[in-house]
Each structure stands twice: as structure tokens, then as C-alpha cells.
Structure 1
């Protein structure tokens, strides 16, 4: 494999597109390599997939970094990062990268039954939620999965996009939940990427 950039970012598929857009805008010497976003439905597999992809990418790049938060691996991803000498994005999950951990904590403190959406989840809701949970085939299971939730909060990277806004309302309606829109933008993700990409990046 010929080197296309100095740094490879192994990215969660759910943040790969905005991460790549940030990289392009900032002109960083970085290639973004996404893993499948549906790994989030099987977080026990994330650490192993990151380890395997890092081994494949390392010969072609000066550095490999991990574009994941912990993402439900309960420390397994940190163990891989320690073993392989990799740095990852901060936080427990991608929601921290968009809204900030303190704001996410407040959302759950105010209403523990908060279901969080991102732009990616809004766009892919039919596939990543309805289909994966079987709700497209068995809508009667909605209360089994979501009966304890009290609201949906869209952490909106692009709150003024009319298509996304319509999809967010549709997702909340399908869950039977009221929707709150919290504009976050991508600045938190951008700062986190800048930290792991390194101080020499512009």
C-alpha cells in the first residue's frame, strides 16, 4: 500500500463522514478509514476490529490514531490502544464529542429517559434502529425497547438542514417520543481530532 498521508484515523462509521469533512477543510495530512457503523450494535467487537485494522494500516503511515470514544467497549478499546501504542478520541461515546460530556450528563440528569440522536442516526434511523431491532417487522416491540424513554434529543450538527430536521421528527414520532433539538455543530469533534492528529497539524 502506498502512503497517501502521514496519519491514518480509524474512524467509527458513525463519525467518519464529518471527520473526513473536517480533515479536508483543515488540510490535514490524514486519511480516514471507517469501520462499519453497525459495530455499535455489537460493541464487544470494536476493540478487535480496531486492532486488526491498525495492524493493516501501520506499514503505510507514520501514525495511526483511533477515531472512537469508548463506545460501549468498557475499557477494551483502551486496552488495545495501550497494547498498540494508539491514541483515541476522548469520552465515553460520540455524543460527548458533539455536545461535550458535561452537557450530556446534564441531559441525562434532567431526564434519565433521554434517547440521543446524531445527524448520522437521524439519516440512518430506518436501518440502524428500526431494522436492526426488528421494529420494521414487529412494531409492537416499540414499548419493549423504548417504553422507559421520555424524550428524544437530536444533537444536531446541521440543525438548519430541512431534510435532517424532518427525519429527526420522523424518528421521534416512530419512537413515540417528543423531540428536543440541541444544536451542537462539529466543533467539539474538530477539537478532539486536532488533539489526536497532533500539534504539527495546521
Structure 2
């Protein structure tokens, strides 16, 4: 996915966010809310959520491509995301910055808030707006639960509750999360996070260049 226009070399003041497909809608929502017309977005596949070893190599290629297109300002719309520090190595190599935190579940809640409750959430299965919209495609079908529901306990038996980190107030998504908790046999908790640290982070990096 990309909303960056292919118009040759980009104006120096434009900012390109290279992000995870799982947060594309949210980045665009923040862009609209803050009036960041100079912010462009290109995304890597959301399925990298399952393959964190693919994130850093893909980011490296995406940054090189963006530089060739004339982007001087680039921000990485990923946290570490299970890469074991590889995202940081790519960022250091290219002199770019990424979202703070270990994953999007942390920066949606706010890093300070997440750190305060992280130990208590060790046995929580997080869902976001994206994961609610894609619950069938991201969990049910890949895990074979549509054909073998008896596998639920094998996959989710070590969790205690589903925690829905809601970016928006959407009754349809609430129902998906609640139904998911029932399906998985887990307790349910909803936390409205909005866009968390994504909003101030994009506001900061999209400001005037130093």
C-alpha cells in the first residue's frame, strides 16, 4: 500500500512515513486530523506481523527507494515489533527514527501507561481496530479454527483475557472483540486508547525540519 504519489523527485520538505500495514488507517486518520498535507505514507505488508524477521530487510529496501525518489525526511512507522533490534539497526544505518516502544500495542496505549501495566498484561491477548477487522483473515483461517475449533485451547489456553485496544468507538468492532473473547473462552476487557503516541509522534516529526 502506498499513498505517496509517483511524481519524480519529491519536494525536500515532504515527510515519508514507512509503516506497518496494520497501522495504515490510523496514520492516515492522524494525518487528516492534524492537517499534515505534506505527509506521505507507504506501507509494508501487514502479514509481517507474523514474520518479524522480514521487517528489517524490507525497511532497508524501502528507505533506499525513498532516498532515490528524493525524500530527505523519513520516519519509520514501526516499533521493534519482534525484530530483536534489527529495526533499530536499519534505522541507525540510514539515520532515521522509528516509533518508540516494543510494538504497536504499547504505543497505542502510550509507552508510560504500557510499562505501568505490562506485567499484569503478560497473559493478555491484544486486539486493535485492525485486528478486529481482520480477525477471520489473521487468526481464524490461518490457524485452521474455522475447520478445527477444538484447537482453540491449544493456541489460546495460556491466555487469561482478550484486551481490545480500541482506536475508535465502533460498535461493530466492539462486537467482534467481544465475540472473539467468547470464542477463545477468555475474559474480556475494552480499553479506549485512541491513537496513543502515534499522534504526538507524527506531529513532532512532521514539524519544520531542523
Q: Same fold (TM over 0.5)?
A: yes
Task: Determine the structure 2 residue equivalent to 1:179.
Answer: 188
CA offset at residue 187 of structure 1?
Answer: 4.0
The 1:108–1:143 alpha-carbon spacing in structure 2 relative to 1, beyond 3 Å, is farther
Task: Determine the structure 2 residue equivalent to 1:138.
Answer: 148
CA offset at residue 173 of structure 1?
Answer: 1.7
Moved more, 14-23 or 53-62: 53-62
The 1:106–1:144 alpha-carbon spacing in structure 2 relative to 1, beyond 3 Å, is farther
| RMSD, aligned CA | 1.8
- Mapped contact 1:70–1:77 kept (Cα < 8 A): yes
CA offset at residue 13 of structure 1?
Answer: 0.7
TM, length-normalised to structure 2: 0.88
Task: Determine the structure 2 residue equivalent to 1:66.
Answer: 76
Structure 2, unaligned runs of 5 or more = 1-5
Give the counterpart of 2:197 among 188, 192, 202: 188
Give the counterpart of 1:15 among 12, 23, 41: 23
Structure 1, unaligned runs of 5 or more = none
- Mapped contact 2:75–2:96 kept (Cα < 8 A): yes
Distance of 1:32 and 1:73 partners within structure 2: 21
Q: Once superposed, which parts of structure 1, at least 4 consecutive aligned residues long, lie more than 4 Å away?
A: none
- 1:99 and 2:109 aligned: yes
Distance of 2:106 and 2:122 partners within structure 1: 16
Task: Determine the structure 1 residue equivalent to 2:3.
Answer: none
CA offset at residue 46 of structure 1?
Answer: 0.5
Deviations 1:15-52 (A, max 9, x none): 11110121122222111111111101000100011111
- Mapped contact 2:132–2:177 kept (Cα < 8 A): yes
CA offset at residue 111 of structure 1?
Answer: 4.6
CA offset at residue 106 of structure 1?
Answer: 4.0
CA offset at residue 103 of structure 1?
Answer: 2.8
Give the counterpart of 1:38 among 44, 47, 67: 47
TM, length-normalised to structure 1: 0.91
